[in-house]
Amino acid sequence: MAVGKIIIAGNWKMHKTQAEALEFLTVLKSKVEETNETREIVLCVPFTALSILSKSLHGGKVRLGAQNVHWEDKGAYTGEISGPMLTELSVDYVVIGHSERRQYFSETDETANLRVITAQRHGLTPILCVGESKQQRDAGEAESVIINQLQKGLVDVDQSNLVIAYEPIWAIGTGDTCESTEANRIIRVIRDQLSNKNVTIQYGGSVKPNNIDEIMAQSDIDGALVGGASLDPVNFARIINYQ
Ligand SMILES: O=C(CO)COP(=O)(O)O
């Protein structure tokens, strides 16, 4: 059904060597040849796989994404990566503010905001991740947490080049998917916060071949950000080719 452009993105997190990435791509390409052009396919891969995939994807229907970008173009920031380093490799998307970055690497709404603005300055499309923890949900705070993340994360952001991913933390990597109707309800809450109502808003958290059809049948869900199930090309292709 979808409101914004449909984008199905795989977030490989810290998985796959270059050799494994190429092997994956060979299988995936063969399975998405017939995929409708209105569905954008994105692979958000480790930095080390960007170069080789960039060469193999050239001109194809699969787009490349990174998993982070720093707000400075260069400098003494050990372990970080800059916008020009990504655009040189034909990267189009970048995941920002993922809950794993927030939880394990002290990423904040303020740094996520700087990264989103920087991504846009370089012509990259940021995929800003928001979502509540189990504790926050149980306390009835899901909406207020997400609204706060959006208000801080979207300061001075151009909403004409933006993707939001709603990823409830308790549903990530747990097999515990958020009910699709509930994901749709929260995504409407997110859309209400935006000035551009056509922003692509994805759902992420235990998306699998057996639940994607129901998720994508919802009125406001414009795609998925897929973790574990995007590591297998057959599973990921089934998700891309949802009914
Ligand atoms: O974090 C996610 C995507 O960014 C979701 O991960 P899973 O699909 O493994 O739950």
Residue 1 belongs to some domain of the structure: no
Read off the CATH number of the domain in which 123 is found.
Answer: 3.20.20.70
Average per-residue pLDDT in the chain?
96
The answer to whether position 201 is within a domain reads yes
Annotated binding site for substrate: 11-13, 173, 206, 227-228
Task: Please check whether residue 186 is in contact with residue 143, taking contact to mean a CB–CB distance below 8 angstroms.
Answer: yes
Q: Nearest Cα to 187, choosing from 211, 222, 214?
A: 222
Q: How many domains does the chain have?
A: 1
Which pLDDT value is given to residue 109?
98
Instruction: Give the CA distances from residue 232 to residues 38, 39, 48, 209, in Å, rounded to whole numbers and listed in that order.
Output: 23, 19, 19, 11
Residue 138, C-beta contacts closer than 8 angstroms, at least 6 positions apart:
none
Torsion of CA 90, 95, 100, 106, to 10 degrees: 90
CA 194 – CA 201 distance, rounded (Å): 11
Q: What percent of the chain has pLDDT over 70?
A: 100
Summarize pLDDT for 112-135 with one digit per residue, the tens.
999 999 999 999 999 999 999 999
Looking at the CA of residue 165, tell me the nearest atom of ligand 1: 4
The amino acid present at 8, given as its one-letter code, is I
Catalytic site includes residue 182: no
The one-letter amino acid at 153: G
Cβ–ligand 1 contact at 223 (below 6 Å): no
DSSP 230: G
User: Domain of 64?
Assistant: 6-240
Give the residue whose CA is nearest to atom 2 of ligand 1.
227
Whether 169 contacts 160, CB under 8 Å: no
Q: Is 70 an active-site residue? A: no
Is 205 inside any structural domain? Answer: yes
Q: List the catalytic residue out of 40, 70, 98, 107.
A: 98
Q: Phi/psi of residue 28, each to 5°? A: -60, -45
What is the pTM assigned to this prediction? 0.97
Q: Give 70-93 pLDDT, tens digit per residue.
A: 999 999 999 999 999 999 999 999
Within-domain flag for 83: yes
